[in-house]
Amino acid sequence: MTAHVEVAIVGAGFAGLGMAIALRRAGRDDFAILERGSSVGGTWRDNTYPGVACDVPAHLYGFASHPNPHWSGLFARGDEIHRYLQSIVDAERLDDRLRLGTALTGAQWDDEWGVWRLETSRGALSADVLVLACGRLTEPSIPDLPGLESFPGPIFHSARWDHSAELAGARIGVVGTGASAVQLVPELARTAAHVTLFQRTPAWIVPRDARPYTDADRERFAAHPGELARLRAQLYAEGEARFASRSGDADAAAAARAVAEDHLAAQVADPQLRAALTPGYAFGCKRVLLSDDFYPAVSSPAVTLESSALAGVDGRTLVSATGARHEVDALVLATGFATTRQPYAELVVGEENVTLDEHWAEGMTAFGSTVVSGFPNMFVLDGPNAALGHNSSVLMIEEQAAYTVRCLVHRDRSGEPLRVDPAAEAAYTDEIAEAAASTPWMTGGCRNWYVDDRSGRLTLLWPGTVDAFRARLARADGSEFALAAAGAEKGAS
């Protein structure tokens, strides 16, 4: 007999564990967490490159119900965050709900029985409710470059770091100048013979000011939870205030841009290099990065900035778009992830045999950034328009998990599957488009990973504050499932 649970959660990163916490708090204990990896942690398990750390303050990058007084500093290292998520499993006693090494290979809605039929790498499972908590930064984006397969040395993506590669004393090529590259390049430059950095587009970078917490700080946080709560509230308010500069408020953007320009001028003396590192697009159009050591590294003799894209590979020679040739011994691809087209979507089949990938053929859509028409009893966390460019994504996950629990109560009362009204999804999509229309993400003159090339819509970012998202989900009263009864009649006919 196939095992059955009320709720199947796919993914054990922040989203999956956040959903489990919300279910436990609501007294709903019949769930399973399917995780393809060997441990929980998601991106913080997978990314182990030198210098990996979060650019959201640590005391905001955690669950409200599980404050951690022991963070090493204002910004947490990747290994610390991984350990934090592992500690959540212990604190919430999730071991018996967690199925590690279990990859989802298919999910099909069974309309006759009103359940999801799941196929995994370790057998079949059915569930009343499917929660996709798969993350959006999971599948590395590998550029299609001529000759890439001919490179004879170590070559790997930053999210799949090869710790066996001998990089000390080597000539290393790094492709990309996004968030990962900004962290790993200074680390590589300390021990490599030389680093050649391929920059297609420069980023706006502001000071990180990554101050450590002392033992006394951590003891004080542990002894006085109220002080830790006040710090979290302060960090939250600071994050919400950053929305103005990221979303196009003229005065706020000008002030933030001035900070970034002053930071660049203070750390890069060479005017030509400074010009090459200055973005030609609006502040906030792409992800704003934080670093105090990237500019000094790029300015040093240890690093050569190739201010054009990598166009091809000829053995150990990397050829830039300008035709420049660089000899390297190892190649690191800091080239980001598949974001606007999620790999899990092709595995999920809803009503009328339509896959989630097909439903999202012109870009991801959902009502409340969480529920999708044609996919009954399914919730997507950290998916369409649920990312942030100014504050902690964990805050969004907590709001989505709380909304999911409220929807399950609605399902209990109706006794019917939750079928999203397509009109509600379309109206919400229009809301997003209207709110985003004048923002730098759409008009700032850059190409970013927030916008889907297929439709030109903003599909990753929520174009508002966390407060606004919380209020928007609070207004959802169940009418987004207005077609539930009609759908059930159709299924019975």
Question: How many domains are there within the chain?
Answer: 2
In a domain, residue 227? The reply is no
Same domain, 104 and 17: yes
User: Is residue 370 domain-resident?
Assistant: yes
pLDDT reading at 20 higher than 60: yes
Residue 83 corresponds to which tokens in the numbers above?
Answer: 């350990």
Structure confidence at residue 485 (pLDDT): 41
Q: Which of 23, 4, 21, 16 is nearest to 406 (CA)?
A: 23
DSSP lists the bridge partners of residue 458 as 451
Q: Please tell me the predicted confidence (pLDDT) of residue 151.
A: 96
Residue where a domain terminates, one of 289, 305, 333: 333
% pLDDT > 90, the chain: 93
Pick from 28, 42, 7, 35: which is nearest to 394 by CA?
Answer: 42
Q: Which of 333, 360, 380 is the last residue of a domain?
A: 333
Model pLDDT, residue 341: 84
Are residues 274 and 125 part of one domain? no
Do residue 285 and residue 197 come from a single domain?
yes
Query: Which of 26-30, 68-72, 339-343 comes out lowest in average pLDDT?
Result: 339-343
Distances (CA, A) of 252 to 180, 202, 204, 259, 344: 26, 21, 15, 11, 38
Let me know whether 399 and 323 are in one domain: no
Summarised one tens digit per residue, pLDDT across range 357-379 is 999 999 999 999 999 999 999 99
Kindly state whether residues 160 and 56 are assigned to the same domain.
Answer: no
125 lies in some domain = yes
The answer to whether residues 321 and 349 belong to one domain is no
Does the pLDDT at position 79 exceed 60?
yes
Domain ends where: 303, 333, 363?
333
Range of the domain at 453: 3-139+338-492
Confidence band of 483 (pLDDT split at 50, 70, 90): low
Same domain for 349 and 259 = no
Q: For the chain, give the mean pLDDT.
A: 95
Using a pLDDT cut of 70, give the percent of the chain over it: 98
Are 156 and 39 found together in one domain?
no
Half-sphere exposure of 369 (CA within 13 A, CB side): 34
329 lies in the same domain as 342:
no
Query: What confidence tens digit (pLDDT) does each residue in 333-358 have?
Result: 999 987 778 889 999 999 999 999 99
More confident residue, 449 or 171: 171
242 inside domain: no
Query: What CATH number is attached to the domain comprising 258?
Result: 3.50.50.60
